Structure 1
């Protein structure tokens, strides 16, 4: 089981820092877009909104 302190540490990390090793993100306004890491695609469909976590 994951400890509560570990969960709280992860919650305080920026989502883009967590994803950076796996997905190249580019900013589109307040949203970060990238290629989905789960399937092949040519245009980005993977969206992350840091303000919403």
Structure 2
């Protein structure tokens, strides 16, 4: 978890985009868990609220 703070936020945004796309194309992909995790990262200040 601490290592995520050192990564470029662009990778996190790209991952969110891809996971949202896959959730709509392939229903078994757990998109809600990704959204909750990204909300956690926003709360920690790793990502910016868009």
TM-score by length of 2: 0.29
- The answer to which structure, 1 or 2, has the higher relative contact order (CA under 8 A, 6+ apart) is 2
Structure whose alpha-carbon radius of gyration is higher: 1
More helix by share: 2
TM-score by length of 1: 0.28
